[in-house]
Chains A and B, each alone.
Chain A
């Protein structure tokens, strides 16, 4: 735009003859020819439009009556800005109808819905959001679905973040959470899909290749989007608006998740700097699925960072919360998600407890025994079997890691072509292994590092149970009990000591804070050739007893008073 103005000022300098010369080409066509062509085009356009309209009309008619009513009602409520009703529709009615009418098919095409409610604005973007989310959850999305859905999210975020004044849009918290949650989920599955080339046809790879041009910086976009949301939260004018506040807040938790999926546990915890985990009235508690997700990723990060006692504490807190609020969750459509995450967290907790024995509350403990008792026993026994169990639990409970990079499609296409060639010669299986390389690599890499850490302390459980039996003992005698050389035992003791040094969170603004602490229930020291051992004891628990008897007494008093 600036350029145009600039050139206008210098118009006087242009050689007019040269410019006019370039116009002459137009004279070569006769007037009539052009008019006719234009008319033809108009007729064709009209025809197309008519056809299009017929198609839309047919589309609208194909929507069942009760769904049509629902959509019209939804649209009206939405435009009126009645947020509590919108929340009801979103949480209950939409899901009920999905189950009843669209359990295996997609919701009506957004184009028809747009014509039905006569709206192309934000309502439609949000409808598309729900439409694709439904496809993701109930069906296999095609590559076109994936790309369109992702573009829709970008459109939505653009609408919200790139406007000059705050958007006056109010959405239920659960919906906002679902938007962020699904956005990352789709991003994650897209990454997996992208890398899982082995199952794809050539055509799909070509499509992916062309789509990645626009996708290549999605990761960056996500960061910027999230940071944008974050900054806006602090910016005052925007911050006072509920939508921005919650969106920014949920984005922080989304960021935690993305960093975690990329294997950057440090940044993951760093992104939560402004969220107070200990506060029971914090914003994240408003959406249970968000609450659980937050704790899952924080706990997982601690586990991977070798801060086992912190991980135990985090998992213990949330699992206790989940089991105590179970009765309130059953009705919510997040129930399944929460249950699945909780189950994974029990598995992670079993690992934490094996790596660094510590206590959790009774209820969580008995649930853990019930779910993973057998695995826990195997973990305690140590050795190869324990390692295999660690692997099994880890695979069950870890998130699906993603790679930020795009596979080299050209190389893969070349491989595929080769494969077809070789198929022509009759040896079909030769090229296959080269293609499947990428599928599990990421999962395996993170697991490999983790299991290697675990394997370093595989001697510990055995050593611990033996040490517990004595208060002081000669090194060589102890070694003969274990059937190893004294130098070997000395070595194991040093390893034990090193492994029990952990960073432990002890208050502070960042979740990364911590003090180096010896976290074990067993203290020991080597004095020349003697080992001194001291086991930590757990004192009696008074509080529970006190509270229970207190209520008993109150009951007793009230019965006595009733009798009098």
Chain B
């Protein structure tokens, strides 16, 4: 989950100027933003997506329905998939309309999104192995790897340790690949390769927190002041 209000390092001055000024409503900029989207899809790194710019593109489509490029919409959505369980995806969805989300390829992306959000990881990989679906995301470099690390982080915040078999299915890896992946992530695999221990962090610690009241001193000034008056 990135912060949308922050400017990504890769955003050029031209794009930044475009999306922060009234210029963002100028339909002539659609092509500029579409090119920028392609750039985002072609670069492989976890912080390559620029949600603010992509939302500006969807906004232009919203105002100019005759200029909608459904392939670009699909790319924006597929790119947003990699940021789950953050809220990028629904922010994009709100800007579309009934007609667009009934488009065949958009329906496929929505299906993938639901599988991920419902934690049906195994099924997700199965659907993705389907040729038609794979084609939709083929334009995005490193799509599978980004999704894999996203799933890994969900599991890492839920589990302290997990069966290797479950991980293999959820991450779509075979035994040796899993061992390699675990090493990258800093996970420890048991000697018999059956159980993987995940490092403890805030999210996967079942530790009760006592929420206590915090009263800043400033709030009590009236009470204290009143006692001096008498």
Contacts and interface: CB of A to CB of B under 8 A. Distances in A.
A547 B223 contact: yes
A510 B94 contact: no
Contact of A264 (B55, B155, B163): B55
A417 to B, nearest CB: 24
Given A405-B63, A523-B208, A554-B227, A491 B161 contact: no
Interface residues of B, number: 59
Nearest to B58: A264
Interface in A10-34: none
Nearest to A541: B213
B65 A498 contact: no
Contact of A498 (B62, B97, B114, B119): B119
A446 interface: yes
Given A498-B154, A527-B159, A539-B212, A270 B98 contact: no
A538 B210 contact: yes
A366 B156 CA distance: 39
A532 B206 CA distance: 6
A489 to B, nearest CB: 11
A80 interface: no
B158 A526 contact: yes
B206 A528 contact: no
Nearest to B196: A528
Interface in A337-363: none
B205 interface: yes
Interface in A492-511: 493-495, 497-499, 501, 503, 508-510
A238 interface: no
Nearest to A270: B5
B5 A510 contact: yes
B207 A453 contact: no
B117 A498 contact: yes
A272 B220 CA distance: 31
Contacts of A494: 119, 154-155, 158
A535 to B, nearest CB: 6
A543 interface: yes
A449 B93 contact: yes
A501 B90 contact: no
B85 interface: yes
A516 B223 CA distance: 37
A540 to B, nearest CB: 8
A554 B208 contact: no
B57 to A, nearest CB: 12
B211 A539 contact: yes
Interface string A264-289: 11110010010000000000000000
A490 B162 CA distance: 11
Nearest to B160: A527
Nearest to A490: B166
A534 interface: yes
Contacts of A541: 213
B176 interface: no
Nearest to B98: A445
B55 A497 contact: no
Contact of B59 (A267, A532, A538, A543): A267
A404 B62 contact: yes
Contacts of A305: 87, 90-91
B215 A497 contact: no
Contact of A491 (B94, B118, B163): B118
A495 B207 contact: no
A528 B195 contact: yes
Nearest to B110: A452
Nearest to B93: A449
Interface in A297-340: 304-307
Contact of A523 (B97, B209, B219, B223): B209
Given A263-B94, A499-B85, A537 B208 contact: yes
Contact of A526 (B86, B160, B226): B160
Interface stretch (A64-72, A171-179, A220-228): A220-228
A493 B114 CA distance: 16
A516 B87 CA distance: 11
Contacts of A498: 84-85, 117, 119, 154
B184 interface: no
Interface of B: 1, 3-5, 22, 25, 51-52, 55, 59, 62-63, 65, 84-87, 90-91, 93-95, 97-98, 114, 117-120, 154-155, 157-163, 166, 195, 202-213, 215, 219-220, 223, 226-227, 230
Given A495-B119, A538-B211, A539-B211, 17 more contacts: A263-B94, A266-B55, A405-B63, A445-B97, A495-B118, A497-B154, A499-B85, A501-B85, A512-B5, A525-B158, A526-B159, A528-B161, A528-B162, A536-B208, A538-B210, A543-B213, A543-B215
27 contacts: A220-B25, A264-B59, A264-B95, A265-B94, A266-B51, A266-B52, A267-B55, A267-B59, A305-B91, A404-B63, A444-B98, A445-B97, A445-B98, A449-B90, A472-B206, A491-B119, A498-B154, A513-B5, A514-B3, A523-B206, A526-B159, A526-B161, A534-B206, A537-B210, A539-B212, A547-B220, A554-B226
Q: Which 9 residue pairs across A and B have the least CB separation, nearest first?
A: A539-B212, A494-B119, A532-B206, A510-B5, A512-B5, A534-B208, A534-B206, A263-B94, A527-B160
